[in-house]
């Protein structure tokens, strides 16, 4: 093992605190903007999860919401969305870079390369664990706003947050859904980051076989987008049951019920499948755009794209 080796200085661009700070900013931009953009899909997906008898298909459900509640209804929860997912994205992407380097230095050069996959997995899980702590309060507000029967709960950010806090005995605000959120987000992020890294590595090993630096930034960002979309499809599948539980916890009939009771009542099959098609479209697109925005920001900052040789 080379004792002088340091993961923070092993790449083309040194990973100093300024580098990590830029990664935090890039992650916030990537996650905040993409989740805001797909709010209509999110509203539809949440309603399909909590009331599958009424909301059976993506476009049919979207039409139902527009017909019954108006065009503003599909943007319900946009404020807690951007306030929750921006800091979550900052910690998820930024801390992933920090944890990867820290773990690599902890085990040393030889083990860092031999067990690179485990470092990717561990770094992603630890980063998302922290990201969920920033996301949970606003995620609970968002889901409650998006799934409540019209007129029964405030839709604006401040009144909705006050109402959640005032009735926190039953809403369990602000961290009542942190366990199902971790169960959704950690598998999601581990899958997203690991398979992104593996797919990018595969592209540069078997398809784009010249040195990475020889390809244009446009080509590198295209590889980033493709790898992100493929990883996003897998993310949607593994994280869907946890996402369904987070949505169901906002419904009055599941108030004060445990995760086990909700799962038993709603059915494991329903947890895994209801709204999954919509989630695949949504998460695949989100994952691809997030990686593309993140790497575009990194490229603009002179940091290069993520992964590969």
Q: Which two tokens stand for residue 111?
A: 């083990």
pLDDT mean over 100-119? 95
244-295 pLDDT, tens per residue?
A: 887 888 777 777 788 888 888 888 888 888 888 888 887 888 899 999 999 9
Residues 291/225, Cβ–Cβ less than 8 Å: yes
Question: How high is the pLDDT of residue 309?
Answer: 64
The sign one gets for the Cα dihedral 115, 213, 232, 183 is positive
pLDDT band, residue 188 (cuts 50/70/90): confident
Higher pLDDT, 268 or 194: 194
Alpha-carbon distances, residue 58 vs 25, 235, 275, 279, 303 (angstroms): 33, 19, 8, 10, 39
157-184 pLDDT, tens per residue?
A: 999 999 999 999 889 999 999 998 998 8
pLDDT at 2 over 60: no
Domains, the chain, ordered by start: 17-300 (1.50.40.10)
Q: Which two tokens stand for residue 218?
A: 């446009």
């Amino acid at each position: 093992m080379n004792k002088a080796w340091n993961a923070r200085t092993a790449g083309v661009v040194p990973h100093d605190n300024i580098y990590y700070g830029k990664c935090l900013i890039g992650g916030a931009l990537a996650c905040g903007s993409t989740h805001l953009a797909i709010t209509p899909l999110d509203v539809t997906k949440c309603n399909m999860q909590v009331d599958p008898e009424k909301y059976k298909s993506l476009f049919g459900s979207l039409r139902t919401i527009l017909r019954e509640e108006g065009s503003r209804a599909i943007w319900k929860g946009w404020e807690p969305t951007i306030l929750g997912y921006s800091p979550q994205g900052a910690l998820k992407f930024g801390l992933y870079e920090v944890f990867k380097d820290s773990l690599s230095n902890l085990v040393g050069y030889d083990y860092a390369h031999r067990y690179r996959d485990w470092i990717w997995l561990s770094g992603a899980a630890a980063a998302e664990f922290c990201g969920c702590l920033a996301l949970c309060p606003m995620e609970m507000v968002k889901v409650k706003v998006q799934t409540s029967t019209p007129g029964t709960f405030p839709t604006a950010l401040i009144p909705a947050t006050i109402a959640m806090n005032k009735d926190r005995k039953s809403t369990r605000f602000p961290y009542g859904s942190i366990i199902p959120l971790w169960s959704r987000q950690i598998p999601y992020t581990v899958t997203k980051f690991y398979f992104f890294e593996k797919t990018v590595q595969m592209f540069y090993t078997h398809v784009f076989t010249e040195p990475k630096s020889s390809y244009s930034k446009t080509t590198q960002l295209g590889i980033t987008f493709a790898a992100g979309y493929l990883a996003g499809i897998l993310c949607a599948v593994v994280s869907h049951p946890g996402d369904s539980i987070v949505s169901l916890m906002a419904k009055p009939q599941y108030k004060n019920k445990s995760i086990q009771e909700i799962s038993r009542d709603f059915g494991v099959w329903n947890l895994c499948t209801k709204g999954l098609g919509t989630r695949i479209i949504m998460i695949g697109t989100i994952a691809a755009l997030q990686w593309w925005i993140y790497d575009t920001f990194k490229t603009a900052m002179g940091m290069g794209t993520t992964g590969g040789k």
